[in-house]
Structure 1
């Protein structure tokens, strides 16, 4: 099969043997691939895959099941699906743990399906598993125009929460507003702490891929018993922390990644997401938040877009 190889930070086509499925896996003929910042970091040799996972890029895809292992209980053969992948999605075929696969609704295209798994499951985990967000509360979502941000906005609004986001331009703020955000703050022109204090806003749940100096700023706008969920550290790896403020507000801090979670964790996460939001997804109530669709021959351009932080939403590659 053909796949996209990464070497010396460059992307090129190469050929490799089609992967063999295990007893509890399915083999998917890939139709579309969701591009993620983790792919860009792995291309740069800054984010190696967990031991045992595929060295090929790609953490999510949509496609058609063409084979399945003998222990797979659901008949997935010839069914359109979308799913997380333990790497390997930048290829014509990929093997996936069958219990993580989700059915592609008739209303969804392969392109749309490829834009769901990584961002929606990451956002779901941050908001509800760790963030404990409830109706009537306030969520502060940094990088609100990103793929994860867009998914988080829509799920938070779907349960009746108020949403405050930060983004790096007026255009990105407008994009987040269209997705349902109640308050959109351009952090390059407005300090989000001052904005939230002026508007008497306090966050019960904070989703933060920035970290660094944002930790103390987050604490400044946190409500009592706030849950701060850190997904990355785009600002800095280290920071000084005002522990007195964390203690006075009983703030809980969670550092969370999805890629190196156990299969059991990912299976349960998928099951919870399906139970709570698949109906809205299949009914077209969520915007799939696709910024651009490219052919997989243009994977380098897709990575350039993410490297330069140009996108509002997801970039998807079509496999041909």
Structure 2
């Protein structure tokens, strides 16, 4: 089947509120050596998409300016240098941009097959969260079997993924969330104890539960939680920071616990990583995590799926933080 002359994509008329997004038409993306061209069937909506729309998270110079970081769909073209995928394959993957479109270029090293029994919506709910959690919680923070972890934002896409993965690999999981409903969801997914941060002190709770604190904290809040995160860690613990929803500058932070308890503070974002680094994460996921997905032992938590034309409504929901799990877009 020949490819169309152009495609629909989400266009930014300016930076700002969700309403700056419109559906435009333009040429299909070109594919470079080592890339796949994918006919997009579903897209995941993520916090970095909101930040890029608002103007605070610009794409790298060599990336598509179109929003979106994860897709699932069918391979329709394969560039030179690709040997492990073919036209007709169903893949999901972590893009470098351009996901909010009918066609998207995807580096083959960031592509993964659909887990067994998955449709495009479930498959598209995987890449961004699973790449991020694996890299930060397991590769960098070194969470291992028998350790304990505190996951902030437990009902978010990242949080629901982190809870399941940490539990699957033998860790004791604690999570924070902002309502009774969200806390219940965290415990259903595998948290030993979910903490409603609106009326409980997570430091007091984890110390009461563990005696000395947790081994790892996965944090997306940043500055406003920094001191308390250090207090919640046990000796030789690790604070892994992946976002700054509570600010990026901790002006009066007390660094003493880092020295006294021999703590490690680390953090990263996914987008600036090299192709080789992303491929290494992909390979780990295929080896360690995809068998769990194939077996149904873990699965993405999907809150709501919107038609592609309702992308504005999807972003409005994301900004309310009322969701539990992933917000998705489905192509027509």
What TM-score range do you get, normalising by the shorter chain?
Answer: over 0.9
Distance 1:251 1:76 in 2: 46
- The reply on whether 1:205 has 2:216 as its aligned counterpart is yes
Report the alpha carbon displacement of residue 75 of structure 1 after superposing the two structures with TM. 3.3
Query: Could you say which residue in structure 2 is the equivalent of 1:270?
Result: 282
TM-score, with length taken from structure 1:
0.98
Q: Aligned in 2, Cα 1:64/1:19: closer, same or farther, shift over 3 Å?
A: same
Report the alpha carbon displacement of residue 45 of structure 1 after superposing the two structures with TM. 1.1
Determine if contact 1:207/1:230 at 8 Å carries over to the other structure.
Answer: yes
Query: Could you say which residue in structure 2 is the equivalent of 1:2?
Result: 8
Report the alpha carbon displacement of residue 303 of structure 1 after superposing the two structures with TM. 0.2
Q: 1:290 aligns with which of 298, 302, 314?
A: 302
Query: Could you say which residue in structure 2 is the equivalent of 1:37?
Result: 47
**Matches of residues 214-225 of structure 1 in structure 2 within 5 Å?**
214-225=225-236
Query: Could you say which residue in structure 1 is the equivalent of 2:177?
Result: 167
Distance 1:136 1:164 in 2: 13
Query: Could you say which residue in structure 2 is the equivalent of 1:230?
Result: 241
Q: 2:118 aligns with which of 101, 108, 117?
A: 108
**Matches of residues 116-155 of structure 1 in structure 2 within 5 Å?**
116-155=126-165
Gaps of 5+ in 1: none
Distance 1:210 1:246 in 2: 19
- The reply on whether 1:191 has 2:201 as its aligned counterpart is yes
- The reply on whether 1:306 has 2:318 as its aligned counterpart is yes
Query: Could you say which residue in structure 2 is the equivalent of 1:246?
Result: 258
Report the alpha carbon displacement of residue 105 of structure 1 after superposing the two structures with TM. 2.9
Distance 1:213 1:15 in 2: 42
Report the alpha carbon displacement of residue 15 of structure 1 after superposing the two structures with TM. 0.8
Aligned residues: 320
Query: Could you say which residue in structure 2 is the equivalent of 1:83?
Result: 93
Determine if contact 2:85/2:108 at 8 Å carries over to the other structure.
Answer: no
Moved over 6 A (4+): none
Determine if contact 2:8/2:23 at 8 Å carries over to the other structure.
Answer: yes
TM-score, with length taken from structure 2:
0.94
Query: Could you say which residue in structure 1 is the equivalent of 2:268?
Result: 256
Determine if contact 1:144/1:167 at 8 Å carries over to the other structure.
Answer: yes
User: Residue 159 of structure 2: SS of its match in structure 1?
Assistant: helix
Distance 2:144 2:37 in 1: 38
Determine if contact 2:75/2:87 at 8 Å carries over to the other structure.
Answer: yes
User: Residue 239 of structure 2: SS of its match in structure 1?
Assistant: strand
